[in-house]
Chain A
C-alpha cells in the first residue's frame, strides 16, 4: 500500500486517496479551440512510465486536491504540493 504525503494532513494510507490522473490544462476560450485540440484535451494522456506528476485527492480525509510526483513504475513517491490559486496546468 502506498503511503501518500497529503500536503495538509501528512502521510496517510493509499486507501484514503483518490487518483486524479495527469494534470491537464483546459484550453480556453473553449469555443475557439479546434475539434482536434479539444479531443486531445479530453482523451489523450502521456501515460508516463517513470517519474510523473499526478493529481490526487485526499477524498477520505481533508477532501483537498493536490499534486504529487510519483514513479509510476517503482511506486516511489517524491513530493506533493498544494494547488496554488493559479490554474492547475498553467
Chain B
C-alpha cells in the first residue's frame, strides 16, 4: 500500500498542516484530517496486530465500523487507550501508538501463533485452559489485549445534558437532512444528530434541487438544532435517545464529552447503511479495504490509498469508487461476481472487468503486492484467471442497513432477499425510518424517503384540521438502471483462511466448527466463535457470519435470524457516562453547621449515614483507642459535648397528628403529654425494627420526631406513603426540619456547671428526664431536651443552624470536652443502648430486643402489630439481644464473632457479637450480641470464634453501667 495525498480535492485545509506522531515518528497531516486519513496519506500500512493470531492489520474502513485501527491516542492531558482512528480528528501534537504487537507492530514475537492457527480454532482457549483459567488468564490477556487505561485521574470535565424536542432526526446524510427540512417547515422543534464532524453531502458530490449537494445541505438545516460529532448510541423506552457528543476542541475546564438524553415526541431514524465486505482467501492483509472507504478517503480527505487497485464487488455501488479512482489517476481492475455488471460498466471506461469472478488469493509481506482473480466457483487456489499486481483490494459485498437503534427501540427486523439485508419491519415507538436504513439505494430515493419521514413526523404532531405547509420533494438525478446485487458469501476453496470478523479473528472455518459442534443458533454462534463480540460489534462481519451459518445449516438467513442489538451502538467513554457524578460529587456528604469548628479541633471526620461527622478529636500524638477511651472517660467523670445536629427532626402537625403517629409507632404516643419525650421503635409492616428514636410532643397537635441520622429520609417517606395511600383522610402533615437546627448534647456529672453559663429562659431545674421545653438560648429561639444516649445526665440544646458554630464555641469555652461518634458508641454500649442496623438486622423484632412492654400497654393497631403475633415471631428460640463478657477482660473480639455452645449434644453457633468495645467505665472488654434464646442463657458460658482464635465468654445482661439509671434522673 502506497497511500499518498493528492495535490487537490477533499475538505482538508492544505494551508494548515497538523503535526502528529505515529509510534514516536513525526508525521504531518492537515486540518480536516482524521487520524486514519493522515496515517494513510503518510503511507502507513500496518496499524496493529490481530487479537488472536497476531497477524498484521491495516486500516479497513473510514467510519465507526473500523475493526482494525484501534489505537492508543494522547493529546495533551487527554488519553484514549482504544480510540477508533477513523473517528479521531487529527490534532496538533497528537501522539498515536499501536496497542498490540511487541516489540512493535512490524515485528511481533507472537507472530508465531499464526503458524499454529490450525491448532487454535474457535473455542481453543476455553477448551484448553478451562481448568485453572485464573492462572493462564493474565498471560493470555497480555498477548491479546486492548489498550491500557492510565490509572491517573482523567483531568477532563464531562457533563450530562437533557433535551426535549418535537422531532429528533438521527443521521445527517441525504435522508436525514431531507427529513429535518420537511419537519422544520411545520414549525416544530427539530434536532439532528450525526456522528461525523461534517455530513457526507459535504464531500460526496452530486446536485440537489439544481445546486451543489453541499450547498443544499446548508439550506436544509436552517432552523434545525444540529449536533455534529454526536453518536446516538441507545434508543430507550418512550422515545428517549442517548447521544454522546465528542468535543475534542473543548478548552481546558469546559466539557469534553457530553452525554445527551434526548426525549423526542417523534424520532426519524436515518442511520444509513454500512458497507459489507466480500469474503475471500487471505482477505485480512493490510491493503484490503471497504470500497466505500477508499472512495471516502479520496473525496473527503484527498488521499489516494493506492496506485493500483483491485475492486471485488457483487453490486453497482463499487463502480462509483472505481470511477473516482480512475479520475484520480489510479489503475483499476474489477472482479465482479455477477455474470454481467450491466449499464454501470459504462462509468469505468479504462478499467479491466472480470465478470463472474472474485479474488481467490492475495500475496505479499505486510500488505498486498498482488491479487489472484478467479471464477466464483473456484475450489482450488490455483484456478486463477489472472494475477493482478496491486497495493489495494477494495471490496464491496452490498450494504448492511444500520438497524441497531431501530432494533433497540423494540422494532422487529425482516430479511429482504432483494436488498440481501435485514431491514426495519414493524416499529413499536413513535418513529419513522428513512434512507439507506429503509433500503433506499441512491440519492434520489434517499431524499424522497427522508422527505416523507419528516412530513409524517410533523403530521403526527399537528393539531387536527391544520394543514401541512407546501414543500416540494428535493430532487436529484436518478442513478442509471441498477443490476441487482448477487449474494456471494465466501469462496468455496477448502482450507483457505477467509476472515469474517477482523477484530476478533473469526474465520469461515470457525463458523464451520461451530456448526459441526451444534452451536447453530445465532446466539450460540456468536458466543462460541466471538463473532461480532469485539468493540466494533461486528458492524462489517455479522451478516456475513450469519449467512455462512445459514448456508452450512441449510436455512435461509431470515430463518437463522440475527443476534440482539443492544446499546451502545458504538463505544461510549466512561467519563461521559459518569458526567459530574464522581469524586466528591458522586454521593455528596452533608456537613454539620459547626463543621469548621470540628475541623479546627483536628477532629477525625468520617462518613456516617451520608453525613460527614467527627469520629473523635485526637490530641497530639494520641492513637484512636486512647482518644476514644479518654473522651468516654471525660463524659463519665466531667462533662462532654457532642454535635448531634444530624439526628433527624421531622415536625408532624395537624388535628390528627396524635392519632396518625399512634398508627405508625410501636409505642403509645397519643397519651404523651406536651413537653414530654418518649423513646420509640418504628416497625415495618413485617414487624421488623426499622428505626428507633425519640418522639417529642410540642403541643396537642404538634410533634417532633427524631429518627436516627441515616434513617430520617426513609422515615419521612414511610410516613408520607402510609398517610397518602392508607389514611389519606387524616389531617396531618410532615416536614423535615433537620437542616434548620443545630443540636448539641452536653452531658456528664458537671453538666450543671456548664449550663449555668448558658443564658436561657428555660428552667433546667424543673425539666425532668425525657422532658422538652422551648424558649431562648443566648438570646435566640431554641429548645432544650433532657434525653440521654450515654447514660449520663444530658441536655440537648437546639438553636437555628446559623447560630450552631457560636453556641458550639460557647459550650466549649465553658469546659465541655468534645467527643465523637466512636466514643459515643462505647458509651452507649456500656448502657446496652442499641444501634439499629448494627445490633439489629432484617430479622429483628421488638421482643428480640427485650422491648415487649409497650406492645402489652398499647390498645390500638399500628404498622407491624399483626406480624408480631405470627408463629415465627413467637418462636422461643429466636435470637435475643444480650451482653457478653469475655473471660479475658483485655480481649475485644471482632464484631461478627460467633458464639457457640453444646446444645442437645451438638456444639453449634447460637449467634454472634454485634458490638464490642473496651469499656473505660468498667475497665474491661464488653460485647453486645444476638444469641438464640439469649435471655434464658444469662450466666452460661460460650465459646467465641474470632478469626481462628477460640476463647470463652459469659452471657449477661446488656447493661454494663449504672443499671438502675440513677445518673439519668439525679
Q: Are B685 and A65 in contact (CB under 8 A)?
A: no
Main secondary structure on chain A at its contact with chain B? loop
Q: Are A65 and B724 in contact (CB under 8 A)?
A: yes
Smallest CB gap from B865: residue in A: A30
- A82 to chain B minimum Cβ distance, whole angstroms, is 10
Q: Which of B470-506 contact A (CB under 8 A)?
A: none
Main secondary structure on chain B at its contact with chain A? mixed
**Does chain A have a CB within 8 A of B726?**
yes
Q: Are A85 and B720 in contact (CB under 8 A)?
A: no
Considering the chains assembled together, what is the distance between the CA atoms of A32 and B410 in angstroms? 48
Q: Are B410 and A26 in contact (CB under 8 A)?
A: no
**Does chain B have a CB within 8 A of A46?**
no
Choice from A1, A31, A39, A87 contacting B261 with Cβ under 8 Å: A1
Considering the chains assembled together, what is the distance between the CA atoms of A3 and B265 in angstroms? 11
Given contacts A3-B263, A74-B428, contact A59 B717 (CB under 8 A): yes
Smallest CB gap from B265: residue in A: A3
**Does chain B have a CB within 8 A of A72?**
no
Considering the chains assembled together, what is the distance between the CA atoms of A55 and B729 in angstroms? 18
- A18 to chain B minimum Cβ distance, whole angstroms, is 8
Residues on A with C-beta less than 8 A from B717 are 57, 59
Q: Are B866 and A38 in contact (CB under 8 A)?
A: yes
Considering the chains assembled together, what is the distance between the CA atoms of A42 and B237 in angstroms? 31
**Does chain A have a CB within 8 A of B728?**
yes
Given contacts A2-B238, A29-B861, A74-B428, contact A42 B685 (CB under 8 A): yes
**Does chain A have a CB within 8 A of B584?**
no
**Does chain B have a CB within 8 A of A23?**
yes
Considering the chains assembled together, what is the distance between the CA atoms of A53 and B830 in angstroms? 51
Considering the chains assembled together, what is the distance between the CA atoms of A71 and B725 in angstroms? 22
Residues on B with C-beta less than 8 A from A74 are 410, 428
Q: Are B686 and A42 in contact (CB under 8 A)?
A: yes
Residues on A with C-beta less than 8 A from B867 are 38, 42
Residues on B with C-beta less than 8 A from A55 are 725
Smallest CB gap from A84: residue in B: B728
Considering the chains assembled together, what is the distance between the CA atoms of A9 and B162 in angstroms? 18
Given contacts A1-B236, A2-B238, A42-B685, contact A64 B866 (CB under 8 A): no
User: Which range contains the number of A residues in contact with the other chain?
Assistant: 20 to 34
Q: Which of B864-920 contact A (CB under 8 A)?
A: 865-867, 869-871
Considering the chains assembled together, what is the distance between the CA atoms of A51 and B717 in angstroms? 27
**Does chain A have a CB within 8 A of B721?**
yes
**Does chain A have a CB within 8 A of B240?**
yes
Q: Are A30 and B866 in contact (CB under 8 A)?
A: yes
Contact with B along A49-90 (1 / 0, CB 8 A): 000000101010001110000000011010000011111100
Smallest CB gap from B725: residue in A: A88
Residues on A with C-beta less than 8 A from B865 are 30-31
Q: Are A87 and B866 in contact (CB under 8 A)?
A: no
Smallest CB gap from B723: residue in A: A65
Given contacts A63-B720, A65-B724, A74-B428, contact A2 B685 (CB under 8 A): no
Considering the chains assembled together, what is the distance between the CA atoms of A23 and B870 in angstroms? 23
Considering the chains assembled together, what is the distance between the CA atoms of A64 and B725 in angstroms? 10
- B7 to chain A minimum Cβ distance, whole angstroms, is 51
Residues on B with C-beta less than 8 A from A28 are 861
Q: Are A26 and B726 in contact (CB under 8 A)?
A: yes
Residues on A with C-beta less than 8 A from B726 are 26, 87-88
Contact with B along A1-34 (1 / 0, CB 8 A): 1110000000001000000100100101111010
- B607 to chain A minimum Cβ distance, whole angstroms, is 23
Of all A-B residue pairs in the complex, the 10 with the closest CB atoms, nearest first, are A30-B866, A1-B240, A65-B724, A3-B238, A88-B725, A75-B237, A85-B729, A85-B728, A65-B725, A38-B866
A–B Cβ pairs within 8 angstroms, 30 of them: A1-B236, A1-B237, A1-B238, A1-B263, A2-B238, A3-B238, A3-B240, A3-B263, A13-B162, A13-B261, A29-B861, A31-B865, A31-B866, A38-B867, A38-B870, A42-B685, A42-B686, A42-B867, A57-B717, A57-B720, A59-B717, A65-B720, A65-B724, A74-B428, A75-B237, A75-B238, A77-B238, A83-B724, A86-B728, A88-B725
Interface residue ranges, B against A (CB under 8 Å)? 162, 236-238, 240, 261, 263, 410, 428, 685-686, 717, 720-721, 724-726, 728-729, 861, 865-867, 869-871
| New A-B contacts (6) at CB < 8 Å, excluding given A26-B726, A31-B869, A38-B870 | A1-B238, A3-B240, A13-B261, A30-B861, A31-B865, A87-B726
